[in-house]
Chain A
Amino acid sequence: MKRPAFLSGPGLWLLLLLLVVGWWAGSGLVLAETLKVERPNMQRKGFTPEVEASYRQKNPSLNYAQVDEVERFRVNPTQLAAFIKEGGLTP
């Protein structure tokens, strides 16, 4: 069977070169996309609510219920303003 003219001599080398360039560019793009996607996620990693949940499960005697109680306690802004005014403090 006769081989087409572009699959012999310099044509074959050019074809091979294009194949390599195309594949390489594609891989590079995938890598770049991976990094682009991962960077914002990485900022959220470290000590997260999931890590706290595992830690709480591992240490059930810790008093997280009262930590939540401390955090739930809020001072009403109007009451705080009145408190500051009554005490002659800086608003």
Chain B
Amino acid sequence: MMPKSLRILVMVAVVLLLVGFKIPSLPVPSEVGKALNVGAKTGQKAFKAARGISDSEEYYIGRAVAARLLSRSPLSQNRDATQYVNEVGQAVARKSTQPTTYRGYHFGILETSDPNAYACPGGIILITRGLIQQCQNEDELAAVLAHEVAHIAHKDGVKSINKARWTEVLTTAGAEATRQYAGGVAGQMVTLFEGSIDDVFKTLVVNGYSRKAEESADRAAISTLSRAGYNPAALGAILSRLQSKGGGGGFFRSHPLTSQRVEAVKMLVTATPGGPSEKVRTERFKKVNF
């Protein structure tokens, strides 16, 4: 038989163990608390740093970049032309290496004569009326759109976000105060968002993609065009035309176009005469009043 004092001790021990697991309010001694806190925060940072930009974050950056572009040149209200560009765009996007995005691909026409096209991260592609007018047929328009889709699939826009800035985004996102979205941390995140948009915008509009990114997008566009049933030689044709017109305006800034690049594209595909389907496509292209 257990002595009475030992029985009391066992009962107290059981109660303490049960209660102990449910005492969140007991203060943690400062040093131990700090260690636990540091450990938890380090774990959070490591967890956050391990991830890249998410699809939804890419989407919000893309929307902001598009909003800036649309502040400079308005969106065309030509419904027939918009419908047509979206049909061509969807026909190529579904055959690209990334057929779907967070909120899908969307195509719009910018009301400006400056020939250019912009791949906003996440899936919005804006092409200028000036560039569409440089295209002689649907396959060339498809080639331009396939090239822009490739930039989105390769994440060339978001790759231009400064690495230190992105690390700061992750650290800020991991901070406990962010949960509340109040005060300085939320403000800091907006500043980081703004900076990230600046980085992407600079690449898309001012500095242009790297030569490597351009060549990679060209190769992907040629494969996409073939899979979609378009003539892949159309990419070489439109690039040659833009180059021969001496400058191509903003297109040359955002998509550095060298004679080597044009030659490289032409080397990848042998120009073939268009079949009856290509003629049908060219006819419907010519019917659209851009």
Residue ranges of A at the interface with B (Cβ–Cβ < 8 Å): 4-6, 11, 14-15, 18-19, 21-27, 29-31, 34-35, 38-39, 41-43, 45-52, 54-55, 58-59, 61-64, 66-67, 69-71, 73, 75, 79-80, 83-84, 86-90
Contact partners of B183 in chain A: CB under 8 A: none
Contact partners of A75 in chain B: CB under 8 A: 83, 86-87, 90
Chain A residue at minimum C-beta to C-beta distance from B23: A26
Chain B residues 199 to 241 lying within 8 A of chain A, measured CB to CB, are 227-230
Contact partners of A41 in chain B: CB under 8 A: 179
A62 touches B71 (CB 8 A): yes
- Supposing A54-B190, A88-B275, A89-B91 touch, asked if A61 and B229 sit within 8 A by C-beta, the answer is no
Cα(A51)–Cα(B53), bound, Å: 15
Least Cβ–Cβ distance between B10 and chain A, in angstroms: 9
Least Cβ–Cβ distance between A66 and chain B, in angstroms: 4
Residue ranges of B at the interface with A (Cβ–Cβ < 8 Å): 5-6, 8-9, 12-13, 16-17, 19-24, 26, 28, 36, 40, 43-44, 47-48, 51, 53-54, 56-57, 60-61, 63-64, 66-68, 70-71, 74-75, 82-83, 86-87, 90-91, 95, 103, 106-108, 124, 126, 138, 169-170, 173-174, 178-179, 181, 186-187, 189-190, 193-194, 196-197, 227-230, 275-278, 280-281, 284
A46 touches B169 (CB 8 A): yes
Contact partners of B190 in chain A: CB under 8 A: 51, 54-55, 58
- Supposing A15-B12, A23-B23 touch, asked if A90 and B71 sit within 8 A by C-beta, the answer is no
Chain A residue at minimum C-beta to C-beta distance from B282: A87
- Supposing A47-B60, A61-B71, A62-B64 touch, asked if A80 and B87 sit within 8 A by C-beta, the answer is yes
A49 touches B28 (CB 8 A): no
Other-chain residue from A4, A42, A58, A67 in contact with B47 (beta carbon distance below 8 A): A42
Contact partners of B5 in chain A: CB under 8 A: 4-6, 11
Least Cβ–Cβ distance between A34 and chain B, in angstroms: 7
Q: Is the interface of A mostly helix, strand, loop or mixed?
A: helix
Other-chain residue from B70, B178, B181, B227 in contact with A66 (beta carbon distance below 8 A): B70
Contact partners of B17 in chain A: CB under 8 A: 18, 21-22, 25
B70 touches A67 (CB 8 A): yes
A52 touches B63 (CB 8 A): yes
Contact partners of A88 in chain B: CB under 8 A: 229, 275-278, 280-281
A46 touches B44 (CB 8 A): no
Query: Can you give 14 A-B contacts (C-beta < 8 A)?
Result: A23-B26, A26-B24, A45-B174, A47-B61, A51-B60, A51-B193, A52-B60, A52-B64, A62-B67, A70-B108, A71-B103, A83-B87, A87-B284, A88-B281
Other-chain residue from B75, B91, B193 in contact with A69 (beta carbon distance below 8 A): B75
Cα(A21)–Cα(B51), bound, Å: 36
Cα(A64)–Cα(B51), bound, Å: 28
A4 touches B194 (CB 8 A): no
